[in-house]
Structure 1
């Protein structure tokens, strides 16, 4: 057994929130160790957020070039070089790795590459990637181990060696027919990208709509957009058997309300949810309890059930977005210093990076109905926003929820050009508690997408 090394803070996992905390504490003069089994900087810069958006942008460029004649630019035949797509993505990842290594060096925090597991309270044993063991004890410990793609128990699926988003982003060839199991955020982003690269794509969604957490009108609009690009979408399609091998030939059998169907493709991508990376890290030895789904149990201050042990990000059930992990870092940072920041008072936005993108902050219309909260709803087609007439980006709409008995903005949803950027203005207004009339009457620059706020808020029904 190696000799115990003592640190002010040991962080298990180098994801977004954990690394920011490590750099902050290191710059503050604390002795900090970060244990990372595989990806310097965590999954976001290596295999998730940045790489996926990098390839989505390559796909958008391919789509624009194929349709360039519409805008007056004549091109010859267009095809995608997936090796170049992957190379462009990898160049970005390499830059990110260099940035992260330099940030560790400058902060003084130590990055230890290896697999860590608790062997006692606030004590982590690390099996180093290059051999050997280290034993780390922290005055405080932060669990930041993230999550991984769920693989459902469908006969033949494991043997089919299906892709997750990680393997899909490493493809150096173009699938002739990609079957996407799951019509959530990741599924529809990847489906549209590969269709634009040139693959035939079929989405199999077991639920009644794509994007099950969104309002039905949002779901139907993105389904219309994807269908217009030639993507086949099967709803209420329950897969019950898989045969073949992804990358060669694969078959998925599904049950629908009408009949059983067999879908044959070349590759299979599974995007049906996430599972916390809490198995095998010794939570029992640490005195850390899990919830029924396997996520680390935390209170509103992100403290676990073990004294001096905190958790950040996906692994503790925080909404699975990098920007939420960043806020988790701020909460833990301040609470370690004696503060009292909480998770239950924050307004969390998100964006689905389809084209057009989808953005939401606050309540959806269906959530308001389910919670019995009376609201006034206003909706504006993107075709009524003048900038879209200039850019031919008329798909989608904006929708706002305003309190029925006051003028507070309770929620905003948008599918349309620059949705994520536009949403930020609504989020700021909601945080400031502005009545909707402030945006209705604001002087907004012409021609911008946000110029739609005038007619959108101008159509809010009176009290």
Structure 2
């Protein structure tokens, strides 16, 4: 066995929170190492968030071209070149990896490419990607393992070698008929994108609605949008069996309220949840406890059951967004220097990049009802927003929740053009404790989408 090498900060995984913690600690003068199995910078710049948004924008351009006539532009026959779509995405990823390597070099943190497993508390053995092993110990250890796509236990599914978002985003061909198993973020974003590229697309969702944690008016708008674009959506089904092989020919047998049906397709994408990357790494040897779902159990300061060991991001059960992993880094780094930050009461925003996008921060109507919180609700159709009319993107609506007996904003949801940007305005008001009247009465530039917040909050019922 190699002789142990000691670091003041040892980080397993170079995802968002892990890499920022490494750069911060190294710049602060601590000897720091990061062990990464494959993806420099983690999944976001390599396989997940940014590559998917890159391809989704290519699909948006394809949609613009398809509807160019309504904007006064005359085009001839067009088609999507998936090889060029891939080339644009890969160029972005390569640039980002190069930038990450520059940041590692500038910070002084050592990036070690290999597979880590604990062999003792605060001690890991790393099987290096280019051969050999190293044994590393850390005065402090942070675990940033991430998650991977769940493959449901459906007869024949694993044998069909289904695509996950990772493999789909590497295809340089266009699936003839893509069957999407799952109606959440990943499934909806990619279903719409590949429909716009030219694939036939079917979504199979076992739940009664798409985007299961959203209000029914939101999911109804999503369903209408997808069906108008030619995506076939099956809700409330039980998948019985999958046969064939994805990429060649595949069939999915399902039970519906109308009886058993079979869908024939060329490819199948599994987008049915995530599984933490916590198995096989020796966390039990490290003294790190998992919860009943296999995620690392942490307290509000992201400390694990092992002294001097923290966990970051998705594998720690944090909301599965890059921006939350970054905040996990801020919590840990602040506390290491005498602070007292916690993850309690974080106001976590999110945005689903369908077109139009869906964005939400704070409570939904359903959540308010479940929690017994009385609210007043204001809604405004996007079609009433003058900016939306100028760009011919009038689908969707805005919805705000305000406490029934006061002026505090409790939640905001928007499905519509630039929803993420408008949501951020409301989030800033919520963080500042601004009453809804502050947005209602603000002078906001015209014509912008955010300008509609004045009209939205003017629609709020009186107390």
Q: Does residue 1:133 correspond to 2:141, yes or no? A: no
Q: CA deviation at 1:135?
A: 0.5
- SS of structure 1 residue aligned to 2:194: helix
CA distance in structure 1 between the partners assigned to 2:455 and 2:430 by the alignment: 19
Q: Could you tell me how far apart the structure 1 residues matched to 2:462 and 2:383 are?
A: 24
User: 2:401 corresponds to which residue?
Assistant: 401
Partner of 1:259: 259
How big is the shift at 1:190? Answer: 0.2
CA offsets 1:165-202 (integer angstroms, 9 cap, x no match): 00000001000100000000100000000000000000
Q: Distance in 1 between matches of 2:376 and 2:279?
A: 45
Q: Aligned partners of 2:212, 2:344: CA distance in 1, in Å? A: 23
CA distance in 1, matches of 2:333, 2:117: 23
Which residue is equivalent to 2:250? 250
| SS of residue in 1 equivalent to 2:158 | coil
Residue of structure 2 in register with 1:194 after alignment: 194
Report the aligned-residue RMSD: 0.6
Q: CA deviation at 1:345?
A: 2.1
Q: Distance in 1 between matches of 2:449 and 2:94?
A: 35
**What is the CA-CA distance between 1:405 and the residue it aligns to?**
1.0
Give deviations 1:91-120, integer Å, cap 9, x for gaps.
111001100111101100000000001111
Deviations 1:60-103 (A, max 9, x none): 00010011001000001110111111111001110011001111
Instruction: Give the Cα separation in 1 of the matches to 2:150 and 2:410.
Output: 32
The offset of 1:240, in angstroms, is 1.2
Alpha-carbon deviation of 1:150?
0.3
- Hey, what's the Cα distance between the residues in 1 that align with 2:31 and 2:257? 59
Q: What residue in structure 1 maps to residue 98 of structure 2?
A: 98
Distance 2:397 2:211 in 1: 16
SS in structure 2 of the partner of residue 213 of structure 1 = coil
Distance 2:107 2:449 in 1: 41
Output the CA distance in 2 between the equivalents of 1:108 and 1:328.
22
Distance 1:346 1:170 in 2: 35
Shift of 1:237: 1.5
Counterpart residue number, 1:385: 385
Which consecutive residues of structure 1, in runs of 5 or more, have no partner in the other structure? none
- Deviation by residue 1:254-298 (Cα, 9 ceiling, x = unmatched): 111221110000000000000000001100110000000000000
Matched, 1:121 2:149: no
TM-score, normalised to structure 2's length?
0.99
Supply the distance in 1 between the matched residues of 2:316 and 2:26 (Cα, whole angstroms): 24
> What's the offset of the Cα at 1:384?
0.7
Q: Which stretch of the first structure deviates more once superposed, 252-261 or 394-403?
A: 252-261
| Unpaired segments ≥5 residues, structure 2 | none
CA distance in 2, matches of 1:76, 1:267: 30
Q: Distance in 2 between matches of 1:100 and 1:426?
A: 32
Per the alignment, residue 109 of structure 1 pairs with 109
2 CA distance for matches of 1:262 and 1:293? 32
SS in 1 for 2:451: helix
Q: 2:430 — aligned with what?
A: 430
- Whether 2:76 is the aligned partner of 1:76: answer yes
Match of 2:227 in 1: 227
CA distance in 2, matches of 1:94, 1:389: 38
SS of residue matched to 1:395: coil
Residue equivalent to 1:31? 31
Q: Which moved more, 1:449-458 or 1:143-152?
A: 449-458
How big is each residue's C-alpha offset from its partner over 1:335-387, in whole Å with a ceiling of 9 and x where there is no partner? Answer: 11121100012100000000000000000000000111000001000011111
Question: Tell me, what secondary structure is at the counterpart of 1:296?
Answer: coil
- Cα distance in 1 for partners of 2:344, 2:74 equals 53
Aligned mates of 1:405, 1:305 — CA distance in 2: 42
**1:439 equivalenced with 2:439 (yes/no):** yes
Q: Is residue 2:284 matched to residue 1:284?
A: yes
Q: What does residue range 287-306 of structure 1 map to in structure 2 within 5 Å?
A: 287-306=287-306
Which residue of structure 2 lines up, in the alignment, with residue 172 of structure 1? 172
SS in 2 for 1:434: coil
How many angstroms apart in 2 are the aligned matches of 1:59 and 1:449? Answer: 22
Q: Distance in 2 between matches of 1:38 and 1:378?
A: 47
